[in-house]
Amino acid sequence: MITFPNAKINLGLYVTERRIDGYHDLETIFYPVGLSDGLEILPSSRFIFQTSGPDTGGTIESNLVVRAFRMLQREFQLPEVKIHLHKVIPTGAGLGGGSSDAAFTLKMINEMFLLNLSGEQLEGYAASLGADCPFFIRNKPALATGIGDKLTPIQVDLSAYHLVIVKPPVMVNTALAYRSVLPCIPETHPQDILRLPPEQWQKHLKNDFEKSIFPLFPEIEAIKTLMINRGAVYAAMSGSGSAVYGLFRELPVNFQDSFPEDYFVFSEE
């Protein structure tokens, strides 16, 4: 069985409160996009986990895909499997690649072994793996609140726009990003801003992390500026970075050539 775990972008991201447990409450819109990894799971007499593409780092057992499988294996006494994960979604980008891989693993194992777990049950398992993992179970646009795990379906359709994602070769430390942000309730909530056409989002739809991350990583801000100068109707950093995405009515000619070879560039037409 093979599937293709996709990335997400954040349409607005507001850090609203610092919690006593060390986490932060936020408001954001998760939106699924076409950039995807490849994930294959097959029956096997022994456990095998292989990866290809960019190195994800860490040990095998710490990988979210393996952790997702082991969780259901323990719960339902499942036999071993062979897993091959081909990475395309860059890590440390704010695109949810690892969370998506984990969520799709849960869904695949549920289907392979006829576990008959409901969407709600799968979301429960996913939540124990990461705050944004539950989103990828249903994989539809959603308003995320709490620590990103409370999801409310929302109608957003960006199919009329070309999406471009660019990630420079820098990693943003998530803990540092959260320590540097000043929690604040937004004057206008993201779901209300999204009722406006995307051409009006730039002045209203914000990512709170940009204020503290851009001075530390000017190359990230430079990507956003370039996108706007080249015609993006809206551009923003996704998550806590370091990827930036832009929405275009028309793709700029030779836009990929605007970036060094070590930059990751994805275009969804």
Residue with tokens 């999204």: 194
Q: SS3 of 29, please? A: strand
- Strand 81-86 relative to strand 48-52, pairing: parallel
Percentages (nearest 5) of helix, strand, coil residues in the chain: 30, 30, 45
Is 107 an annotated catalytic residue?
no
Catalytic residue, candidates 8, 87, 167, 206? 8
Residue with tokens 């954001």: 28
Burial degree of 61 (CB within 10 A; 0-12, 13-18, 19+): exposed
Is 149 an annotated catalytic residue?
no
Catalytic residue, candidates 87, 132, 167, 224? 132
- Strand 162-167 relative to strand 150-153, pairing: unpaired
Which residues are part of the catalytic machinery?
A: 8, 132
